[in-house]
Amino acid sequence: MVAASQGVESGVPHGAVLTAFVDACLGPDAAALAHARNAVIAGLGDAAFVDVCATVASFNAVVKIADATGIPLEEAKEARTRDIRAALGIEAFHAP
């Protein structure tokens, strides 16, 4: 999986390593995940790796909870994601 932000400097310390790890967590490639996991541990240490994993898991869960409870999409996000939501057919899952 190629990061949408690949090549963009975020200003976050270890941002490239963290972005690669998040992308690998969300992707299907076990080898890429193992490589990204090792890069986080090597660059940030074991304790930071646990924090990174907890952060990724938390954000993943929060989005699912928001979606499941029907929290409305903000207007700005609605406008920016309209085309992709239409292409994916996401609106078919909306219950009035």
Phi-psi region of 14 (alpha: psi -120 to 50; beta: other; left: phi over 0): left
Query: Model-level pTM?
Result: 0.64
8 SS3 class: coil
Going from the C-alpha of 89 to that of each of 34, 77, 81, 82, 94, the distances in angstroms are: 33, 16, 12, 10, 10
pLDDT of residue 6: 55
Average of pLDDT values for 4-13?
Answer: 69
Average of pLDDT values for 7-20?
Answer: 86
Which of 81-87's residues contact partners 24+ apart within 8 Å by CB, and which partners?
A: none
pLDDT in tens, 26-79: 999 999 999 999 999 999 999 999 999 999 999 888 888 887 787 887 888 888
